[in-house]
Structure 1
Amino acid sequence: MKLTLIAVGISTLLMGCSTANQSNQQSAPSGGTSITGNQLQKMNLSYPNTRKDDVTDSYFGTQVADPYRWLEDDMSSETKQWVKAENAVTQAYLAQVPSRDKLKERLKVLLDYEKVGAPFKEGKYTYFFKNDGLQNQAVLYRQLDDGEAHVFLDPNTFSEDGTTSLASIEFSKDGSLVTYLISEGGSDWRKAITIDVETMQNVSETLTDLKFSDISWLGNEGFYYSSYDKPEGSELSAKTDQHKLYFHSLKDKQSEDTLVFGGTQAQKNRYVSGHVTEDNRYLLISAAVSTSGNKLYLKDLNEPDSELVTILDNTDSDTQLLDNDGSTLLLVTNLAAPNKRVVSVDASQPQPENWQDFIPETNNVLDVSTGGGYIFASYMLDAISNVKQLDKSGKLVREITLPGVGTASGFSGKKDQQTLYYSFTNYKTPSTIFSLDVESGESAVYLKSKAKFDSDAYESKQVFYTSKDGTKVPMIITHKKGLKLNGSNPTMLYGYGGFNISLQPAFSSVTAAWLEQGGVYAVPNLRGGGEYGKAWHDAGTKLQKQNVFDDFIAAAEFLIAQNYTSPDYLAIRGGSNGGLLVGATMLQRPELFKVALPAVGVLDMLRYHTFTAGAGWAYDYGTAQDSKEMFDYLMTYSPVQNVRDGVNYPATLITTGDHDDRVVPAHSFKFAAELQAKHTGPNPMLIRIETNAGHGAGTPISKTIEQYADIFGFTLYNMGVKVQ
């Protein structure tokens, strides 16, 4: 069983924030005390002197200056000195924010509760993750039946500062061996450690240089994994675009591993993965050049010398294995089904012309899992979960009764399991784990959250608003009950809008801290996401990317029109692709927001594809080299190239990590330099650069508390809101 550990009990940490003009005197919003504009402007900022070089690129005859290109060199001492200088300015500013320490203490309280994950069976043991409260990383425990639980793996011992994390873990089919991946300093590069679960001794040398890799065991002899060749130059920023699938035998050294797929121009792909079926009969290989669309291949492992069989030879769809019953394969696909369907096919002739609908496409997006000999079809109804249990023939057994409107996840396990587990949550309800008897369909509370938050004091509702082109967009708004719609509520608008990712409601203790301050938390389901299938995703890509920004701006305008907030109290926040969203919208409509919080953002749209695996994002963005039309379009919104002289931009706190090798920090560095050079007005243009940190996964709780005390403190301070 593979578990990817983003965080146990802490979800949706990249939360929204926004921007606006600063008035000289601000009235007190509900639940807070005002701070005068004079107080806000006491901090006379002096930004570091960022050198400008005469660097120019030519795109279809257009010359584009790139004066801060030198900041892309993360190995240079000059860049490191610049980071140090910027952090000094930012920390000096934040140190004067009177509410920062108070927020830090409240975040500690809200995060200091026991968080336990759903149990899972591997071999004779039952395993579960638990964080006692403020442990930097969750600990993996195990127990025999109902016996006493003992620590199996404690990631808090991996490094003194908690920045080495357990990225994922995969047990062999019989549960006697396990491989776990570790991430150091938040990097996407991984090390793989394999041990015997009884002796806890290594049974193989530690593998290095894995990246974007699953682990899939073949019996107990070894496993499949994926890696890039280490790039020349900086491993944190240099381009990686030749992904390869290897098989590692436990008795061999990594240098002797078998190359299974990739390594030739004919098989050049940026994302390759291998998956062995539960019965060890087949290997499925997925190969992709971008984050959307994949080729698919099949190998019969009963015949070691068998050739790869091509299931799909193009990347026009997203297709993956769900399960197999002997030679019958079940595949999940959006081929000829934008909302996804499940098809069945015999492995002897697995091509699309032989597919038969097993679970037909519906009007709602499908996600599907298996466990206990059943299939669980989870549908999104306007981003809300609806789950159906089906038998092996695809016949409906029952609809799972959920405890409310929100997000249900889990419903997976081995075929012989009698009991499965799932979690339920929404923006105001901490995650509760339920057990499900697959035969009777009865659910019972297995573990109720111990979060220190009074959900009954808050309400969460879904609304629909109209975007610029008439498209209806859903948004969930959460706040204290009895909120006065007087336009003066501090509001955080969070968005993503890309890569087919769906934002479903989920509780976060970090967000709870915002709600406790009388804050409104609003999350729209923008185009570019996956909430309404492939068509919704495609409507926010390439030459239609502006739709995403328009959807976000329309969400802000709706909140203002309905008197939830006003430009003086509206903040926008998003991370990664959401950082691009914030960067683009704060530049397009600076008067609409008070605070902007772009996190680990993709901000230089002309050069994003030249770093690490960035070229794989071209399905969503296109590249400046594709065509003059694409270049011209990217130039209309690329944040680094669209900062204007003499504009009063919203108070801005850019956040990034110096070890982010997914969206390299140079994006944020260059954006900060442009804002500091061109912005006019009293609002601060700051960048907070976390050291020994990456894109976000595995962030220690201690760093999370520090980060959000700074983010919320900065936001409320610039709104003129005193922390309660």
Structure 2
Amino acid sequence: LFYERPDIKEIGIGPQLSRDNRFLIVTAYYGSSSGNEVYYRDLTQSGEFKPLVSGFNYRYTGDIIDSILYLMTNDGASKYRIIAVNLFHPEKENWKTIIPESDDIIEGFAIINNHLVVKYLHNACSVVKIYSFDGVFQQELNLPPLGTVGAISGRWNDPEMFVYYQSFTCPGTIFRYDFEKNELSKYYQYPVKVNPNDYEAKQVWYKSKDGTPVSMFIVNKKGVALNGNNPTLLYGYGGFTSNETPYFSSTLCVWLDMGGVYALPNLRGGGEYGEAWHRAGMLENKQNVFDDFIAAAEWLIDNKYTNPKKLAISGGSNGGLLVGAAMVQRPDLFKAVICGAPLLDMVRYHLFNIARFWIPEYGSSENAMQLPYLLAYSPYHNVKKGTAYPAVLFQSGEVDWRTHPMHPRKMVAAMQAATSSDAPILLDMERKTGHGWGMPLGMQMEKKADEYAFLIWQLGIK
């Protein structure tokens, strides 16, 4: 045992060891809080860990080379900056900003070939730049546009690195970068049984209810006539700083081959535009997320992509809360809803399983200041008798320890009793699954087939 915090049971920790094995770094996280603490210890000396960053107000993550700890942080920089801390002189006044905050959010970095390789998000798409340890810009990788970079791998002194990339029209691809030759080449691409060139993607901007500009990706098959009558699937999440960026999916191509349109907005609550964007969609600002999503639906209708009889929405977990709130607030706007592993009773959610960890994101009804806004948007508490609700497919697992299955069970009962429409309100409850991770491939395929069958049925796809 090298570190423990019995005083706060919700804390999780992550260790890092310096290249010379002298310093041990411990990062401590509290529940779903967007901040963390950092402690360090010189292993050549006896004694306890010393605090470098206290409080859970800001995020600090990074890597250590000998005595220099490089950290990306949103402390004083909503879109992050990278600092260097000499652990022999760790006082805050000695911290040095290596890469300052810019208009693009820093999503992560790696130390490879004695360089800082920094992954940025520019309008929710990845950009990779290389800097010296002094913060001098060296090179930007020439990656395809409108894509997402995942892992960047390589060791601190390697002459090469590997970059994983994907987009809506490019399957997962590993690029190799040669530092000496300044050369980027395709190393491997995962084989798929569809032709990615059959599809096209673009990014648009629209205004939310309060006038805030929001970006959105739209994907469709080339040659599809966008005539206001296209079956359209609008997906969203909007929370916990999760970045909704381009990705490749063969199962999505099935939807596109049926003439479907897919839309993915970058809602507030996510991390695509920095911590301020996240905070604008959490706690008392959560309604902004639902407004952003509803505005995306209205934009798709106004711009002749679809109409309310051809528009479906989908989301899971926090995204299940999103579509649950959207359908009770604007039931006239959607024909079908897929609501997966949702939170729907926001007054009692924190009392079940591990959901108390999410109080920093949502708040708690036990706080008199937070109860009013939770009640105002809680989907379960806003079901109204006599309302014509759209068709809904709720999905859950009986052993889901993140979002308790009581949420969709209660919601189905409430909506079936309240709705004035003939649209089905269905519950698909899996007996031996949880929140979705680790689901066998066969079960994943059955679930996706059920979702598409539901959409084909409700949207009248021939």
TM-score (norm. length: structure 1): 0.62
1:617-643 deviation per Cα after TM superposition (whole angstroms, max 9, x unaligned): 12221111122x311111111112211
Identity of aligned residues (%): 42
Looking at structure 2, the residues matched to 288 and 404 of structure 1 have their Cα atoms a distance apart, in angstroms, of: 34
Looking at structure 2, the residues matched to 379 and 326 of structure 1 have their Cα atoms a distance apart, in angstroms, of: 25
Cα 1:607–1:270 change in 2 (3 A) is farther
SS in 2 for 1:337: coil
Residue in 2 that maps onto 1:330: 70
C-alpha deviation, 1:571, in angstroms:
0.5
Cα 1:665–1:349 change in 2 (3 A) is farther
1:259-285 deviation per Cα after TM superposition (whole angstroms, max 9, x unaligned): 621113xx4443333333344322222
Looking at structure 1, the residues matched to 57 and 145 of structure 2 have their Cα atoms a distance apart, in angstroms, of: 37
1:393-415 deviation per Cα after TM superposition (whole angstroms, max 9, x unaligned): 32222111113331123222222
Any conservation in 2 of the 1:286–1:294 contact (CA below 8 Å)?
yes
Any conservation in 2 of the 1:270–1:616 contact (CA below 8 Å)?
no
Residue in 2 that maps onto 1:103: none
Residue in 1 that maps onto 2:3: 260
C-alpha deviation, 1:679, in angstroms:
2.1
Higher relative contact order (CA 8 A, sep 6+): 1
1:443 equivalent among 184, 199, 211: 184
Looking at structure 2, the residues matched to 583 and 449 of structure 1 have their Cα atoms a distance apart, in angstroms, of: 35
Looking at structure 1, the residues matched to 414 and 183 of structure 2 have their Cα atoms a distance apart, in angstroms, of: 58
Letter matched to residue 674 of structure 1: A
C-alpha deviation, 1:325, in angstroms:
2.5
Cα 1:423–1:259 change in 2 (3 A) is closer
Residue 287 of structure 2 is aligned to residue 509 of structure 1: no
SS in 1 for 2:220: strand
Residue in 2 that maps onto 1:697: 437
Residue in 1 that maps onto 2:391: 651
Residue in 2 that maps onto 1:687: 427
Letter matched to residue 18 of structure 2: T
Looking at structure 1, the residues matched to 457 and 264 of structure 2 have their Cα atoms a distance apart, in angstroms, of: 22
Paired residues for 1:79-478 under 5 Å: 258=1, 260-264=3-7, 267-291=8-32, 292-303=34-45, 305-320=46-61, 322-367=62-107, 368-478=109-219
Residue 411 of structure 2 is aligned to residue 668 of structure 1: no
SS in 2 for 1:473: strand
SS in 2 for 1:422: strand
Residue in 2 that maps onto 1:518: 259
Looking at structure 2, the residues matched to 359 and 502 of structure 1 have their Cα atoms a distance apart, in angstroms, of: 22
Unmatched 5+ stretches in structure 2: none
Letter matched to residue 475 of structure 1: M
Letter matched to residue 43 of structure 2: L
Looking at structure 1, the residues matched to 180 and 348 of structure 2 have their Cα atoms a distance apart, in angstroms, of: 54
Paired residues for 1:573-588 under 5 Å: 573-588=314-329
Looking at structure 2, the residues matched to 699 and 280 of structure 1 have their Cα atoms a distance apart, in angstroms, of: 39
Residue in 2 that maps onto 1:609: 350
Letter matched to residue 373 of structure 2: Y
Looking at structure 2, the residues matched to 674 and 271 of structure 1 have their Cα atoms a distance apart, in angstroms, of: 37
1:642 equivalent among 373, 382, 400: 382
Letter matched to residue 554 of structure 1: A
Looking at structure 1, the residues matched to 93 and 410 of structure 2 have their Cα atoms a distance apart, in angstroms, of: 50
Looking at structure 2, the residues matched to 585 and 436 of structure 1 have their Cα atoms a distance apart, in angstroms, of: 44
Any conservation in 1 of the 2:16–2:63 contact (CA below 8 Å)?
no
Looking at structure 2, the residues matched to 410 and 259 of structure 1 have their Cα atoms a distance apart, in angstroms, of: 29
Any conservation in 2 of the 1:424–1:433 contact (CA below 8 Å)?
yes
Residue in 2 that maps onto 1:631: 371
SS in 1 for 2:295: helix
Looking at structure 2, the residues matched to 463 and 584 of structure 1 have their Cα atoms a distance apart, in angstroms, of: 24
Letter matched to residue 691 of structure 1: R
Looking at structure 2, the residues matched to 584 and 350 of structure 1 have their Cα atoms a distance apart, in angstroms, of: 47
Residue in 1 that maps onto 2:418: 678
Looking at structure 2, the residues matched to 428 and 701 of structure 1 have their Cα atoms a distance apart, in angstroms, of: 23
Looking at structure 2, the residues matched to 607 and 362 of structure 1 have their Cα atoms a distance apart, in angstroms, of: 40
C-alpha deviation, 1:603, in angstroms:
1.4
Any conservation in 1 of the 2:83–2:98 contact (CA below 8 Å)?
yes
Any conservation in 1 of the 2:18–2:67 contact (CA below 8 Å)?
no
Letter matched to residue 447 of structure 1: Y
Looking at structure 2, the residues matched to 286 and 667 of structure 1 have their Cα atoms a distance apart, in angstroms, of: 33
Cα 1:283–1:602 change in 2 (3 A) is farther
1:174-214 deviation per Cα after TM superposition (whole angstroms, max 9, x unaligned): xxxxxxxxxxxxxxxxxxxxxxxxxxxxxxxxxxxxxxxxx
Paired residues for 1:542-553 under 5 Å: 542-553=283-294
Any conservation in 2 of the 1:485–1:562 contact (CA below 8 Å)?
no
1:87-124 deviation per Cα after TM superposition (whole angstroms, max 9, x unaligned): xxxxxxxxxxxxxxxxxxxxxxxxxxxxxxxxxxxxxx
TM-score (norm. length: structure 2): 0.96
Looking at structure 2, the residues matched to 277 and 351 of structure 1 have their Cα atoms a distance apart, in angstroms, of: 19
Which piece of structure 1 moves more, 471-480 or 365-374? Answer: 365-374
Cα 1:692–1:275 change in 2 (3 A) is farther
SS in 1 for 2:186: strand
Q: State the number of aligned residues.
A: 460
Letter matched to residue 298 of structure 2: E
Q: Report which of the two structures shows the higher radius of gyration computed on alpha carbons.
A: 1
SS in 1 for 2:415: helix
